[in-house]
Amino acid sequence: MGTAQPHVQVKRVYDAPDGADGTRVLVDRLWPRGISKDRAALDEWCKQIAPSTELRRWYAHDPAKFAEFTRRYQAELTGPERSEALTHLRELSRTSTMLTLLTATKDFRISEAAVLAGEIERMG
């Protein structure tokens, strides 16, 4: 079972949970505004994997900066705490039918969750 290909998707935490979500993990450092813990329907909150405050503020979800944000965030993911959290997410992706990474970001396609999904799939 350890060789199963990871199944990862990214969604906004504000979207209604759905039965195909599998394990739902919030990957933002800050709790999303205006949503209760019940409505979020999380299995985990993995805030230690989130980008540093400095990187998050520099990026400010500017689409023009996404490639550089990705490069800098991937470098941050090599640090001990984030690396351990990434390994944990990879294991979740292998043991669940689906791993859903959740973020409050308006455009989740240019979020840390999208970078993480790519990393998990790349790690296989």
Q: Which residues contact 87 (CB under 8 A, 6 or more apart)?
A: none
With respect to residue 3, please indicate whether it lies within any of the assigned structural domains: no
> How many domains are there within the chain?
1
* Domain membership of residue 119 as a residue range: 8-123
Residue 41: what are its φ and ψ, rounded to 5°?
Answer: 50, 50
Confidence of residue 124 (pLDDT cuts 50, 70, 90): confident
pLDDT digits 0-9 by tens, 72-102: 999 999 999 999 999 999 999 998 889 999 9
With respect to residue 91, please indicate whether it lies within any of the assigned structural domains: yes
Which class for 64: exposed (0-12), middle (13-18), buried (19 or more C-beta within 10 A)? exposed
User: Do the Cβ atoms of 36 and 17 come closer than 8 Å?
Assistant: no
With respect to residue 50, please indicate whether it lies within any of the assigned structural domains: yes
In the predicted model, is pLDDT for residue 3 greater than 60?
no
With respect to residue 1, please indicate whether it lies within any of the assigned structural domains: no
Q: Which residues contact 67 (CB under 8 A, 6 or more apart)?
A: none
With respect to residue 40, please indicate whether it lies within any of the assigned structural domains: yes
Confidence of residue 6 (pLDDT cuts 50, 70, 90): low
Angle at which helix 112-123 crosses helix 66-76, to 10 degrees, equals: 60
Does the predicted TM-score (pTM) go above 0.85? yes
CA–CA separation, 26 and 43 (whole Å): 8
DSSP 4-32: PPP-EEEEETTSPP-GGG-EEEE--SSPP
